[in-house]
Amino acid sequence: MGKPIVLASGSVHRRELLQNAGIDFAVDPSTLDERALEAPLTESGATPEDVALILAEAKAADVSERHPGALVIGADQTLSLGDERFHKPADMEGARRALLKLSGRTHVLSSAVALVRDGETLWRHVDQARITLRDLSPAFIGRYLAEVGDAALSSVGSYQVERQGIQLMERIEGDFFTIIGLPVLPLVAELRRRGLVDG
């Protein structure tokens, strides 16, 4: 039998967070088309928290079909600036435009996690963090993107707060793990409650 816990995400950051927490797990990323799932939710007026939760559950449910009996962890993160939602940039020009929009303003990250076994959602949780970027000049944004390279394309805000992205920040309100994309403390507490981590 495979590992009893499966992470339904290809995110290097989420994998590192779980590894650093001492969790024994396998990785099997979901192949769902997130944007196709998200479009009707957005049109129906779903909040960023709702979208993150629904996508986290959908990913976990998708992967749970391939791992009977395993506890599957699904996760998703949304970034919203007022009514506007942001996605991972497709290219450096998209990253540049996103950072120009976020410059000098406060955006909200909603990070959701869900536990699913055999298609049934057993637990779900969402946390929010607020990040205010300092006023960024176009020239600085260009230098920042040249320095970080393709890493800017791997996150929804075009930054990694644990790396050089911290240079963009003026203020951070919220849990560090929520910002990275996985509310680790409530997740580990739930795994402990279920007897899957030592407690």
Task: Count Cα atoms within 13 angstroms, Cβ side, for 46.
Answer: 19
pLDDT tens for residues 44-58?
Answer: 888 999 999 999 999
Closest CA to 60 of 124, 108, 105: 124
Closest CA to 152 of 88, 97, 74, 60: 88
40 pLDDT above the threshold of 80: yes
168 pLDDT above the threshold of 70: yes
8 Å CB contact between 107 and 83: no
Query: What pLDDT is recorded for position 24?
Result: 93
Query: What pLDDT is recorded for position 177?
Result: 94
Fold of 5-193: Maf protein (3.90.950)
CA angle 26, 31, 37 (to 5 degrees): 125
Residues serving a catalytic function are: 76
Query: What pLDDT is recorded for position 41?
Result: 83
> Where are the domains positioned within the chain?
5-193
Query: What pLDDT is recorded for position 198?
Result: 80
Mean of the per-residue pLDDT values of the chain: 93
If you count them, how many residues does the chain have?
199
Mention every residue, 6+ apart, whose C-beta is less than 8 A from residue 150. Answer: none
Query: Which pLDDT band holds residue 154 (cuts at 50, 70, 90)?
Result: confident
8 Å CB contact between 33 and 9: no
Query: Which pLDDT band holds residue 155 (cuts at 50, 70, 90)?
Result: confident
Q: Summarize the confidence of residues 149-158 as an average pLDDT.
A: 91
Query: What pLDDT is recorded for position 1?
Result: 42
Query: What pLDDT is recorded for position 2?
Result: 54
CA angle 12, 102, 77 (to 5 degrees): 35
